[in-house]
Structure 1
Amino acid sequence: MSTDTSAPTRPAPAPRQPKPLLIDSPHSTLSLVTLWTFVALPFVALVAAVPLAWGWGLTALDAAMAVTGYVITGLGVTVGYHRYLTHGSFKARRPLRVALAVAGSLAVEGSVIQWVADHRRHHAFTDREGDPHSPWRYGTSVGALAKGLFYAHCGWFFDKETTNRARFAPDLVADRDMRTVDRLFGPLIAVSLLTPAVIGGLVTWSWTGALTGLFWGGLVRMALLHHVTWSVNSICHVVGSRPFVSRDKDRATNFWPLAILSFGESWHNSHHADPTGARHGVLRGQLDPSARLIWVFERLGWAWDVRWPDPIRLATKRNVDH
C-alpha cells in the first residue's frame, strides 16, 4: 500500500473580475487639436471684445443675436443636457427631448452623450479619485488649489482619456435619437458659429455685418457661456456657501454671483444635495431661470413627472451651521 506524501493541491485562485471601466479609448490628436481650437479661439475673442467694441463693430443686431444665442444654448445645457438628460428631473415628449439635445449641442461644450457621461461620473466620484474635474485633485495648498482650479475649469478637457460612455450613459447610447444628435455634433458646431454670421450678412448686406455677427453672436457668446459653465466646475467647488449636507468629501457650494448667467446652475450645493431635483435655487430669493422654463414646459404639457423640491426632504438635509 503506497502513501502519497506530496503536499495537498491548493485550489486555483478565482480569477479577478475586472472593474467597470471609468474611461474609454484615448482622445485622438485631431480631437485634442479641435478641443484646443474651440476653447482658445473663443477666449481670445472674449479678451479682444472690449477694445474692439470701443467705437467699432458692435450693433444692436449683434447684441440681440449674442443674447438670444446665449439664452438658447445656455438653457439647452442647463435644462437639456443637465437637469433632463443627466439627472432625469422630468420626462419630456420626443420633440422636446430632441430639441433640448440639439440646443445643448449648439453651446459647443461637448457632444450630448459624452457631456452626460462626464457629468454622471462627476456626481459618482465628486471631489474624490475618479472625478473628472475636481479642483481639489492636487491638494489643499495655495499652489495645488490654483493648479486644481485651472484643471477643473478647462484643463480636464485635454486629458487623453475620456469617460466611458457605455458605463455612465447606457440609456443615451441605446437611444437612436441621442446617437444621431451626438454624431451630428460637428455640423452643429458650424451651425452655432455660422448662423449669426449669415443673419448679420443678410440683414446688413455686407461682409462687415457677417464678420461682426460671427464675432459677437458666435465666438464671444460661446466663450462667455463656456467660462460660466466651467466656473460651476471650478469656483462652485471652492468658494461659496454650503447650506445643505451632501456626500462625504463633496465640496460643492452655492455661489450667488453666477446665478443669472448660469441660469440657476451656481446653486451647486443645493443641486448636489438633491441631484435629481428640477429646481436648484430652493431657498428664498434664489433665482433659477432653468426651473422656471421647466415649469413652463410642464404647464404646456410638454413635460411631466417633474421632480420639484420636497420641503420635508430638504429640511432633513439642512446644514446645522447655516
Structure 2
Amino acid sequence: MKSLNTMKFFPFFLLLYLLSTATSAAPSPEQKEAKEKGIELYNQYKAISAVTYLKLAAEGGDDEAMYYLGEAIRKNNRYMNAEAQKAYEDSAALGNIYSMIRLGQATDDLCIAMNNCPQGKKAAKEWMDLAKKSASLEAGRGNAESMYLMYEISGDDKWLEKSAQNGFSLAQFRLATKYQEGGGFFLLPANRLDAVELWMKASAEGGYPPGMMGLAAVSIEKKDLESFRLWNEKAAASGYVEGVFGYGSYLGEDPSNYGFKLDLVKSYALLSLLYELDGGGHVRRNVEDVLPEIAKRMSPEQIKEAKKFSEAWKSSHPPLSFFPDKL
C-alpha cells in the first residue's frame, strides 16, 4: 500500500522538480539585458561588439540570442565557421526556424561528403526540410511571420502575399517593394501605384520603420508633403537611422523644400546622435558633411541647448537602428 501511495504522488514531485529546473534555467535579468544590448549593437552594424553580449544571453538558453550570436560571428568572419554553426545548431535544436534556414543555406562540410560525421549531425538539406516543415506547421496555424519564412524558403510569391494579408509588416513592405520594382500583374499603371501605397501604408501603420520611410517616399511622388513630413518624423522617432538623418537634415534647411519649420537646435541634436554609429552604414560620413554647416549658423547657447535635447531624445526614444533584415 505504501508503494502505491508513493507511485501516486510521484508525478506531483516530478512536476515540482521540472518546474524548479525550468525556473533555474530561465535567463537571468543580466542575460535578458545582454540580449537586448547585443541585438541593439548588431542592428547598428556593430557585430564585433555584439558578440560578447550575445554569448552571455545565449548561455541563458535563449534561442533568438543564439541565432543572433551565429549571425554576428558569421558576419565578422565573412563565412560560417564552427563557432557560428554551433550557435545556429543550438538555436535550431530549440525550434528556431531562422537558424534552421541559415543552416539549410550553408555549404555541407567535409564530414558530410566523407560520410563520417558525428551521430545526429544533419546535412544542409535536412535542416532546410526541417525549416520548411516547422514553418509550414506554424503558417497553418495562422502565424504570419511563418508564412513569410515559407516565402523565404520556397520563393513562392503566394506566401509573401499571404503573410502581408495576415498583417506581417515586413512582408507588407517587401510586397510593396516588389510591386514598385515591376513585380506582379496590373492592368493599369495606376493600379500598381495604388497597390504600392496600400501595402506601404499597412507596413508603416504596423510599426515597421522602413515601411514608414517607404510611405514617405510614396507621399513625395503624390506631392503630399504633409504625409511626407508625418511619416519621416515617425520613422525618426522609431530610431530608424534613415529617418533620423532625413528629419534632422530637413529641420536645418532654410527654406525647407518639404515644408519643415526651421529648428536648428533640434536639427543639430538629432544629427549629432548619429555620431555613435561608428560601425557600418557610412552614416557618419553623411553627418560630417551636413552638421558643420548647421553649426555655423548657431550660437554657443544653441549648441549647448542642442546637446541637452540630444540626451533627452536618446533617453526617451528607442535606440538607433538600421533595421537590417533578420534573415
TM-score (norm 2): 0.23
TM-score (norm 1): 0.24
